[in-house]
């Protein structure tokens, strides 16, 4: 996240004007492999909800690689007595990756460069292992003093000092979407029910909507599992739809009626369970959330209309 502009720096830093003068060009994309096939997710916005852009990517099953191509057309403008650092020194590009929900933060070196009349090209590839990402992940890129041989007044004088007023690139990866992707897991119990709903959250207003806090679990050992999982017939799709409706209705009841949360709060935490409930209420056009009956009836009516507009029956 950007440095507070109200802070006063005691040494020269790279501001937006200088960034424009040196000609920074950046291309970024995400990549993962599914069944030995490379999948590319273009990063066109600085905030990207991965599951909404590519429903095929699973945070538990797939790794995720961030690729960045950085070009600096006139790097020599950063060096000299009247600029950021001496031409004898070396600058570095760093990346700070952190996430409260994923419980990690780390700073990664991206590349180094010296004063030159030639453009600088740096490629960065960082891979997140499967099951390592959830919630919001922030990725900030900055310039720092990598190696110092000569010091001038009003310039950074220690290796490691950050030289950008603000991060020159900030990305936000949203792993679990806003409620349009329901966290579904599996379990095995030959004597158990076809499905069960598990609640683990404490406060729906800040708990991330993912399988760690709420999960619809399907019984892979149940005789009907393959039928609803493959969804080849209208009957099987209707069965799965009814399971989803029951699960979402119970969650809405718990969050709004029992826990008395307010979906009209202007400060809803992105990707929280409460934000997912708001998404469902609006998407399923639920006007009355005062009882489980009104919630489920509204959702069934909306779901049936969608189902009837679907494919021809395959039975």
pLDDT band at 154 (very low <50, low <70, confident <90, very high): very high
More confident position, 232 or 110: 110
CA separation for the pair 146, 86 (Å, rounded): 12
User: Can you read off the two tokens belonging to residue 60?
Assistant: 């538990």
pLDDT of 16-41, one tens digit each? 999 999 999 999 999 999 888 999 99
* Torsions phi, psi for 143 (to 5 deg): -105, 140
Question: In the prediction, which pLDDT does 180 show?
Answer: 53
What SS3 state is found at 79? strand
pLDDT of 186-234, one tens digit each? 899 999 999 999 999 999 998 888 777 898 999 999 999 888 876 667 7
DSSP 8-class letter at 78: G
The answer to whether the CB of 249 falls within 8 A of the CB of 296 is yes
Question: In the prediction, which pLDDT does 308 show?
Answer: 62
Q: What is the radius of gyration, based on Cα positions, of the chain?
A: 25
Residue labelled with tokens 């429903």: 55
**CA-to-CA dists, residue 222 to 211, 247, 315, angstroms:** 21, 18, 21
User: Can you read off the two tokens belonging to residue 301?
Assistant: 């009516």
Angle between helices 234-252 and 292-308 (to 10 degrees): 150
CA separation for the pair 174, 271 (Å, rounded): 8
The answer to whether the CB of 2 falls within 8 A of the CB of 170 is yes
Strand 104-113 versus strand 90-99 pairing type: antiparallel
Question: pTM for the whole thing?
Answer: 0.60
Question: Is the pLDDT assigned to residue 5 strictly greater than 50?
Answer: no
Q: Which domains does the chain have, with CATH numbers?
A: 16-174 (2.60.40), 184-308 (no CATH)
The answer to whether the CB of 12 falls within 8 A of the CB of 83 is yes
Closest CA to 309 of 207, 241, 249: 241
User: Can you read off the two tokens belonging to residue 112?
Assistant: 């180094």
pLDDT of 289-302, one tens digit each? 999 999 999 998 88
Residue spans of beta strands (DSSP E) within the chain = 24-34, 37-42, 47-49, 64-72, 90-99, 104-113, 120-128, 136-147, 169-174, 184-187, 195-199, 214-219
CA separation for the pair 272, 205 (Å, rounded): 6
Q: How far is CA 65 from the centre of its chain?
A: 13
The answer to whether the CB of 66 falls within 8 A of the CB of 30 is yes
Mean local confidence (pLDDT), 38-46: 89
Q: How high does pLDDT run on average in the chain?
A: 87
Question: In the prediction, which pLDDT does 96 show?
Answer: 96
Question: In the prediction, which pLDDT does 269 show?
Answer: 80
CA separation for the pair 254, 248 (Å, rounded): 10
Mean local confidence (pLDDT), 231-239: 77
């Amino acid at each position: 996240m950007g440095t507070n502009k109200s802070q006063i720096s005691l040494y020269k830093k790279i501001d937006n004007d200088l960034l424009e003068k040196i000609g920074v060009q950046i291309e970024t994309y995400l990549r993962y492999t599914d069944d030995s096939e490379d999948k590319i997710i273009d990063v066109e916005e600085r905030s990207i909800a991965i599951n909404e852009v590519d429903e095929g990517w699973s945070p538990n099953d797939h790794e995720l690689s961030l690729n960045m191509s950085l070009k600096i057309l006139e790097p020599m403008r950063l060096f000299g007595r009247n600029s950021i650092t001496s031409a004898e020194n070396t600058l570095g590009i760093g990346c700070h990756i952190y996430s409260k929900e994923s419980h990690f933060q780390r700073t990664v070196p991206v590349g180094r460069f010296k004063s030159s009349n030639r453009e600088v090209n740096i490629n960065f590839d960082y891979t997140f292992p499967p099951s390592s990402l959830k919630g919001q992940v922030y990725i900030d890129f900055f310039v720092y003093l990598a190696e110092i041989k000569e010091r001038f007044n009003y310039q950074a004088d220690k290796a490691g000092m950050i030289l950008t007023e603000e991060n020159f690139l900030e990305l936000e990866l949203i792993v679990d979407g806003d409620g349009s992707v329901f966290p579904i897991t599996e379990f095995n119990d030959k004597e158990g029910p076809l499905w069960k709903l598990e609640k683990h959250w404490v406060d729906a207003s800040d708990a991330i909507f993912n399988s760690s806090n709420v999960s619809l679990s399907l019984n892979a050992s149940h005789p009907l599992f393959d039928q609803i999982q493959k969804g080849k017939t209208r009957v099987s799709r209707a069965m799965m739809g009814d399971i989803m409706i029951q699960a979402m209705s119970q969650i809405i009841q718990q969050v709004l009626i029992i826990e008395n949360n307010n979906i009209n709060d202007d400060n809803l935490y992105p990707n929280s369970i409460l934000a997912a409930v708001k998404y469902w209420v609006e998407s399923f056009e639920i006007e009355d959330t005062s009882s489980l009956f009104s919630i489920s009836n509204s959702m069934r009516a909306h779901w049936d209309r969608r189902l009837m507009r679907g494919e021809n029956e395959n039975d």
